């Protein structure tokens, strides 16, 4: 129906134009030459700006040129050929210049209209809210996303001050900001995203992210606000915060439980181990009882070691473990550790190697933790190596000292390497030979506490190499 109506309108428009052209020709023929020849056609070509056909100015100019020539030829006035050609040429030039100008202006206007339509379509379909206000705070544009956010239709907001969408104190701050900006030109929120609150039509408020930009619409200064509802994000952040607080509370409760448990177990266990040692030193103790006593002592020692590991891990997780730096001789520390593991390797039939290449032996650091890290790593190396060798290497480069513990044991698979530094995690060999799975977790965190990084290189059947590097300052007494 609409297409039929448009078609009828076009037919009527063409008929009207044809009638005007015939009327102008008849008028032209009845006027003296040179009076208004071509002028009515210029008016008609100018009016073609509003016609729906793109080529209308050129078509009308061509028809008008023909009619001007006909008007001169069939006019009763006698004009010599030179004057006739000059008149026709001048009027034709006027007609075509007019047509050209109308077409250029029309193309420019249509281009501007297209850009404006695309811009409006972009604003209308934007997911985020878009509000445009003038320098007085009056809303000039308000897209559908804003209608959904605030509950106001555009007809209720356009023409009103934007502060109707703001709860206190933002409402008062907005007027003060505009006044301050108009008088000083200082920008406080333009070009900067910030979190504020918006006010819906029903009076409820919601958190939103607001970004404000400045632009010139002709000679008028406007401000463009981009609004995003962050209610869901804030709810997610709140949930994460609550979950974090609950996890921290549970971790503190766990640490407190472990501390109390260790105290309750350690007190009677110390008594058991003390009496065991007394009995072992009794020369009158019958031989059949000595072996069970040694088993009790070993099991008690293992339990005490497990308690110490759990407490160390809890202290690290709680952030309660601190460094205690002091001056010490790194060469003596390495030599002392070497003596311990040289004997352990001999007892197991392994070759022990210690390679120390350091120039500055007197350093400052936490020697207790360095010793504990080396003992843990070397203890694992001896434990999981059945034949071959265990090697400790210490080298120096400037103030950095690199420690490497290498063995020829069964090696560690890629899957096990991914989790081996986590608490209570062990490789296949570790599960077979026993252990708590806490040693490497504690070792890794102690190295990190000393600003180092524990690294592992290993493959099944090729042994393992643990390495870390520490920056140790020179001893203060040197």
Mean pLDDT of the chain: 80
Mean pLDDT of 230-234: 91
**pLDDT tens-digit map of 115-163:** 777 777 777 778 889 998 888 889 998 999 999 999 999 999 999 989 8
d(CA 129, CA 148): 9
**Candidate from 156-165, 231-240, 320-329 with smallest mean pLDDT:** 320-329
d(CA 75, CA 303): 128
- Give pLDDT, residue 408: 92
Indicate whether 274 pLDDT > 90.
no
DSSP class of 475: P
- Whole-number percent of the chain with pLDDT over 70: 78
d(CA 463, CA 456): 11
- Give pLDDT, residue 26: 62
Mean pLDDT of 11-23: 65
Residue 308: burial class (beta carbons within 10 Å; 0-12, 13-18, 19+) = middle
Query: Band of the pLDDT at 397, cuts 50, 70, 90?
Result: very high
- Whole-number percent of the chain with pLDDT over 90: 23
> What are the DSSP calls for 364-425, one per residue?
EE-HHHHHHHHHHHHHHHHHT-SSSEEEEEEEEETTEEEEEEEE-SS---HHHHTTTTSTT-
Question: Do 300 and 427 form a contact (C-beta atoms < 8 A)?
Answer: no
Residue 418 vs residue 39, higher pLDDT: 418
d(CA 464, CA 450): 23
Query: Band of the pLDDT at 35, cuts 50, 70, 90?
Result: very low
Give the other-Cβ count within 10 Å of 301's Cβ. Answer: 13
Question: Do 441 and 392 form a contact (C-beta atoms < 8 A)?
Answer: no
Mean pLDDT of 288-308: 74
- Give pLDDT, residue 13: 60
Q: How far is CA 202 from CA 90, 115, 154, 174, 440, in A?
A: 70, 36, 16, 21, 59
Query: Band of the pLDDT at 391, cuts 50, 70, 90?
Result: very high
**pLDDT tens-digit map of 339-362:** 888 988 998 999 999 999 999 899
Indicate whether 52 pLDDT > 80.
no
**pLDDT tens-digit map of 404-453:** 999 998 888 888 887 887 776 665 555 455 555 677 888 888 899 899 99
pTM score of the predicted model: 0.46
Mean pLDDT of 181-204: 81
């Amino acid at each position: 129906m609409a297409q039929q109506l448009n078609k009828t309108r076009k037919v009527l428009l063409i008929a009207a134009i044809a009638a005007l052209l015939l009327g102008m020709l008849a008028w032209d023929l009845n006027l003296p030459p040179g009076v208004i020849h071509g002028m009515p056609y210029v008016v008609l070509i100018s009016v073609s700006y509003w016609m729906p056909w793109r080529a209308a100015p050129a078509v009308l100019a061509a028809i008008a040129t023909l009619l001007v020539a006909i008007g001169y030829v069939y006019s009763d006035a006698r004009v010599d050929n030179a004057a006739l050609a000059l008149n026709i040429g001048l009027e034709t030039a006027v007609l075509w210049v007019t047509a050209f100008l109308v077409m250029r202006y029309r193309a420019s206007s249509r281009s501007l209209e297209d850009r404006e339509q695309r811009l409006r379509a972009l604003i209308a379909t934007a997911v985020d809210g878009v509000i445009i206000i003038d320098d007085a705070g009056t809303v000039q544009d308000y897209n559908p996303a804003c209608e959904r956010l605030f509950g106001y239709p555009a007809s209720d907001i356009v023409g009103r001050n934007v502060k109707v969408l703001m709860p206190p104190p933002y409402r008062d701050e907005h007027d003060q900001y505009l006044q301050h900006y108009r008088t000083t030109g200082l920008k406080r929120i333009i070009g900067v995203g910030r979190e504020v609150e918006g006010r819906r039509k029903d009076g409820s408020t919601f958190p939103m992210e607001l970004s404000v930009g400045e632009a010139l619409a002709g000679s008028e200064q406007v401000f463009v606000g981009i609004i995003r509802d962050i209610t869901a994000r804030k709810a997610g952040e709140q949930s994460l915060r609550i979950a974090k607080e609950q996890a921290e509370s549970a971790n503190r409760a766990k640490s407190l439980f472990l501390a109390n448990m260790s105290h309750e177990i350690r007190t009677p266990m110390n008594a058991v181990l003390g009496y065991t040692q007394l009995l072992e030193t009794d020369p009158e103790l019958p031989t059949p009882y000595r072996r069970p006593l040694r088993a009790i002592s070993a099991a008690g020692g293992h339990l005490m070691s497990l308690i110490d590991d759990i407490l160390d891990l809890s202290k690290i997780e709680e952030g309660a473990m601190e460094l205690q730096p002091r001056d010490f001789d790194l060469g003596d520390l390495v030599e002392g550790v070497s003596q311990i593991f040289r004997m352990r390797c001999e007892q197991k039939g392994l070759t022990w190697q210690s390679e120390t290449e350091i120039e500055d032996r007197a350093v400052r650091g936490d020697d207790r933790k360095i010793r504990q890290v080396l003992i843990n790593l070397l203890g694992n190396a001896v434990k999981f190596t059945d034949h071959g060798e265990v090697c400790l290497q210490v080298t120096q480069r400037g103030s950095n000292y690199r420690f490497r513990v290498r063995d020829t044991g069964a090696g560690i698979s890629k899957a096990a390497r991914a989790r081996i530094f986590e608490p209570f995690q062990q490789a296949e060999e570790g599960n077979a030979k026993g252990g708590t799975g806490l040693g490497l977790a504690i070792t890794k965190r102690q190295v990190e506490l000393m600003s180092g990084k524990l690294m592992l290189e290993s493959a099944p059947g090729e042994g393992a190499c643990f390495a870390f590097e520490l920056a140790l300052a020179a001893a203060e007494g040197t």
